């Protein structure tokens, strides 16, 4: 029986809340022997100014064919922008009527089981606590975007609790904190700008916003909780250690519950209930005037100590690799540098999958705006086993997904790109590379791929310029410069291996008449038609050359003079064919001379050219006498 495969659509997996969710997924997936593929966008929820592109980030959700998965888990509430949210809804829409097992966290979706928490009960309880235990009457609320059902439900719960005490939440004291620390600071600044009396309490819909509100108030000399109480939501490690009154939402439980529901659903037991509600736990701390909860504090302190050590290690590694990763010159060097990088970061499983055109001279249909059908595994490692660089089909996601394995995999897929140029994606197992280091890891890998892409393009441009220098723009043949560089090499090779070197000299007939009667544009067309006919020589190992105007040459190595003697007939036959099958204003023809011999010491290209020219003029004069005789 094949191993079940689950797709997870999430954003900002390096954040503590999402990390706890994925931790629950990892353990539950291992217990059920399920492969879990987590598709993650990054960067838009972490910092005020971000170099990431929302379009480039959301491209990762186009990668999986969700119909190929046995079940789907989505977290729309983690999407930090409308583009990512729209993309997730777009890829989920075809599945809504299919009956595919789908669990959505926090946000109800058609055809899906929604797992949520009783946020409202805990927010009501917390609001009640502020009012009855600490005498709060005037309350401000900093929520997430009002198009978020999670943000609205927490706001409504606060209103409901206040209404029980005949208090009203003033709409002028409701602020959109965007779920971010920057948004929380902006909300605090607006509260202070009112110029009037401070609220008794500021309830924030998550801990990040609450922590930045406290920092902004402290900078203005406003004491928490003496002057104003502040609360949060999520029970982040930093928040608990700083004594923030918050609400614990055990998100890892929702992950395990999601896997349990999907597992049974896949086995044919479709859930009767489409809404599953889990409980949350208020944690009262110093920021509302209560004493600190030591049990929670000790647990978070241990976690924070590990996180601080990890951050110091991250900074060291970033400084080590920022220069070398951004200086990658070719595919081989990229492989070696990423290999060193992966080993230093102690990443046990990683697959760097790129658009082949960023490092190879190939064309793809994607043109950098989507993932091409054929991807290149630039570097891959799993439990010490390194993969050879090779091409694979995009539908495989990574080579390991098609392998027979003893153990399941849990991989995080993240996009790699610069602006609108898609480089590919990286898939990593949960661990050092996907925690707080993830943003740094992605930026370093992006730097390596950007360097590789630029170096590849520089080589392409150099090759194009070099080709243009030795090729005729009009006909695509070698030009005089190309002939002077390459023909002597061929002649020397013929001498070395005792082969015949053939040289043909050709002048087009009637070119003056064509230019005089039909104009130079038609003259250029005649030259192109002649060039097209001469391309037939390539089948015989002979290289055609456009010297200038109506003058052409051809050269090459043959086994015998008899073989060379057939070349003039081959050219005339091809001209006759073109004139017959594609009639023009007049027939195209040429006077042709040939000289073919085995070169000896002292023979020069000019000497062969002189003999070929003589033969060509003999042919030209013969034609003139024939026309006069007619």
Q: Residues 178-191: pLDDT tens digits? A: 899 999 999 999 99
- Does residue 544 fall inside a structural domain? yes
Orientation angle between helical segments 520-534 and 567-581, nearest 10 degrees:
130
Residue 270 lies inside a defined structural domain of this protein:
no
Q: pLDDT tens-digit profile of 111-137?
A: 999 999 999 999 999 999 999 999 999
pLDDT band per the 50, 70, 90 thresholds, residue 305: very low
| DSSP string computed for 180-223 | SHHHHHHHHHHHHHT-SPPPSEEEESSHHHHHHHHHHHHHTT--
pLDDT mean across residues, the chain: 87
Residue 540 and residue 602 in one domain:
yes
Any domain includes 27: no
> What's the CA gap between 196 and 170, in Å, rounded?
14
Residue 300 in this model has a pLDDT that exceeds 70: no
Domain count of the fold of the chain: 3
User: Does residue 105 belong to any structural domain of this protein?
Assistant: no
pLDDT the model gives residue 320: 58
Judge whether 598 and 564 are in contact, CB under 8 Å: no
531 and 593 inside one domain: yes
Q: Is residue 487's pLDDT more than 60?
A: yes
Q: How does residue 51 score in pLDDT terms, banded at 50, 70 and 90? A: very low
pLDDT digits (tens, 9 = 90+) for 85-112: 889 999 999 888 788 999 999 999 999 9
- Check: CB of residue 532 under 8 Å from CB of residue 575: no
Residue burial 237-256, b: 16+ Cβ < 10 Å; e: rest: bebbbbbbbbbbbbbbbbbb
**Are residues 453 and 558 part of one domain?**
no
Give CA–CA dist 384/455, Å, rounded: 30
Rounded to 5°, angle at Cα 622 from 619 and 624: 115
The residues with which 9 forms a beta bridge, in sequence order, are 39, 74
Predicted model pTM: 0.70
**What is the band of 562 on the pLDDT scale with cuts at 50, 70, 90?**
very high
Does residue 387 share a domain with residue 288?
A: no
516 and 453 housed in the same domain:
no
Name the band, by pLDDT with cuts 50, 70 and 90, for residue 444. Answer: confident
d(CA 140, CA 202): 5
Assess if residue 617 is contained within a domain. Answer: yes
3-state helix, strand, coil in the chain (%, to 5): 50, 20, 30
Residue 91 in domain: no
Whether the pLDDT of residue 140 is over 50: the answer is yes
Residue 204 and residue 142 in contact, taking contact as beta carbons nearer than 8 Å: yes
Residues 289 and 379 in one domain: no
Sheet with 229-231, side-by-side order of all strands: 174-176, 139-143, 201-204, 229-231
Directed axis angle between helix 480-496 and helix 438-470, to 10°? Answer: 90
**Co-location of 488 and 450 in the same domain:** no
Which of 196-205, 445-454, 548-557, 590-599 comes out lowest in average pLDDT?
A: 445-454
Least confident of 67-81, 467-481, 490-504: 467-481
CA distances for 80 relative to 45, 231, 414, 446, angstroms: 6, 22, 16, 21
The yes-or-no verdict on residue 472 having pLDDT over 90 is no
Q: Which tokens go with 305?
A: 């100590």
Domain that holds residue 534: 480-629
User: What is the C-alpha to C-alpha distance for residues 181 and 209, in angstroms, rounded to an integer?
Assistant: 5
pLDDT in tens, 569-582: 999 999 999 999 99
Which pair of structure tokens corresponds to residue 480? 């005089």
Which DSSP string corresponds to 94-145? Answer: GGTTTT--EEEESS--TTSEEEEE-HHHHHHHHHHHHHHHH---SEEEEES-
Q: What does the pLDDT read at residue 242?
A: 86
Q: CATH number, domain at 493? A: 3.30.70.270
Per-residue pLDDT, averaged over 527-545, amounts to 95
Lookup result for tokens 């030591």: 294
Tokens 């008449």 correspond to 513
d(Cα 613, Cα 507) in Å, to the nearest integer? 10
* Cβ contacts of 344 within 8 Å, gap of 6 or more: 317, 320, 321
Question: What pLDDT digit, counting tens, does each position of 343-372 carry?
Answer: 887 888 999 999 998 888 777 655 667 899
Indicate whether 175 and 222 sit together in one domain.
yes
Same domain, 344 and 391: yes
What residues pair up with 408 in beta bridges, in sequence order? none
What confidence tier does 413 reach under pLDDT thresholds 50, 70, 90? Answer: very high
* Assigned domain for 6 exists: no
* Residues 617, 519 share a domain: yes
| 233, 207 Cβ separation under 8 angstroms | yes
| Cβ neighbours of 36 (radius 10 Å) | 27
Burial 477-501 (b: 16+ CB within 10 A, else e): bbbeebbeeebeebbeebeeeebbb
Q: How far apart are CA 599 and CA 499, in angstroms?
A: 8
484 shares its domain with 460: no
- Evaluate whether residue 236 is within a structural domain: yes
Check which CATH number belongs to the domain holding 170 and give it.
Answer: 3.40.50.2300
């Amino acid at each position: 029986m094949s191993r079940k495969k689950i797709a997870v659509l999430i954003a900002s997996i390096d954040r503590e809340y999402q990390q706890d969710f994925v931790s629950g997924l990892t353990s539950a997936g291992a217990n059920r022997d399920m492969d879990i593929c987590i598709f993650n966008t990054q960067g838009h929820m972490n910092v005020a100014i971000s170099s990431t592109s929302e379009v480039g980030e959301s491209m990762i959700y186009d990668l999986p064919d969700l119909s190929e998965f046995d079940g789907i888990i989505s977290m729309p509430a983690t999407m930090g922008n409308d583009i990512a949210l729209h993309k997730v809804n777009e890829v989920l829409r075809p599945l809504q009527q299919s009956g595919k097992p789908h669990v959505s966290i926090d946000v109800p979706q058609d055809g899906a089981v929604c797992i949520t928490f009783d946020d409202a009960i805990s927010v009501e309880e917390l609001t009640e606590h502020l009012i009855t235990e600490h005498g709060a009457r005037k309350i401000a609320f900093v929520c997430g975007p009002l198009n978020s059902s999670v943000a609205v439900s927490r706001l409504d719960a606060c209103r409901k609790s206040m209404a029980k005490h005949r208090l009203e939440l003033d709409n002028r004291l409701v602020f959109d904190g965007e779920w971010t620390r920057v948004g929380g600071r902006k909300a605090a600044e607006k509260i202070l700008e009112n110029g009037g009396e401070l609220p008794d309490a500021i309830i924030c819909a998550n801990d990040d916003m609450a922590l930045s509100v406290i920092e902004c108030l402290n900078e203005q000399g406003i004491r928490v909780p003496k002057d104003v109480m502040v609360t949060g939501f999520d029970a982040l490690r930093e928040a608990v250690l700083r004594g923030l009154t918050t609400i614990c939402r055990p998100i890892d439980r929702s992950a395990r519950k999601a896997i349990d529901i999907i597992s049974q659903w896949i086995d044919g037991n479709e859930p009767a209930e489409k809404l599953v509600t889990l409980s949350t736990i208020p944690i009262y701390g110093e920021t509302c005037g209560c004493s600190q909860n030591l049990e929670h504090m000790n647990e978070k302190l241990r976690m924070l100590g590990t996180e601080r050590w990890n951050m110091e290690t991250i900074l060291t590694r970033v400084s080590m690799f920022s220069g070398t990763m951004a200086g990658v010159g070719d595919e081989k060097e990229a492989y070696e540098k990423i290999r060193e990088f992966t080993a230093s970061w102690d990443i046990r499983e990683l697959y760097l999958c790129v658009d082949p055109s960023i490092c190879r001279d190939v064309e793809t249909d994607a043109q950098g705006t989507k993932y091409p059908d054929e991807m290149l595994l630039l570097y891959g490692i799993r439990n010490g086993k390194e993969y050879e660089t090779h091409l694979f089909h995009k539908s495989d996601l990574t080579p390991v997904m098609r392998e027979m394995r003893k153990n399941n995999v849990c991989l995080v897929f993240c996009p790699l790109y610069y602006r609108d140029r898609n480089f590919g994606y990286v898939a990593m197992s949960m661990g050092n590379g996907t925690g707080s280091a993830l943003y740094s890891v992605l930026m370093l890998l992006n730097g390596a791929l950007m360097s590789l892409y630029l170096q590849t393009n520089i080589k392409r441009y150099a090759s194009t310029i070099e080709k243009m220098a030795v090729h005729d723009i009009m006909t695509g043949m070698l030009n005089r410069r190309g002939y002077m560089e390459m023909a002597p090499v061929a002649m020397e090779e013929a001498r070395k291996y005792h082969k015949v070197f053939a040289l043909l000299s050709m002048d087009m007939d009637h070119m003056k008449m064509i230019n005089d009667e039909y104009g130079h544009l038609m003259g250029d067309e005649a030259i192109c038609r002649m060039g097209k006919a001469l391309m037939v020589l390539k089948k015989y190992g002979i290289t055609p050359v456009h010297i200038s105007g109506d003058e052409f040459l051809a050269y090459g190595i043959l086994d015998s003079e008899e073989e060379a003697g057939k070349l003039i007939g081959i050219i005339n036959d091809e001209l006759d064919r073109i004139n017959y099958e594609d009639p023009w204003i007049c027939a195209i023809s040429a006077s042709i001379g040939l000289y073919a011999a085995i070169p000896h010491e002292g023979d020069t290209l000019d000497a062969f050219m002189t003999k070929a020219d003589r033969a060509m003029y003999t042919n030209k004069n013969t034609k003139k006498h024939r026309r006069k005789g007619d």
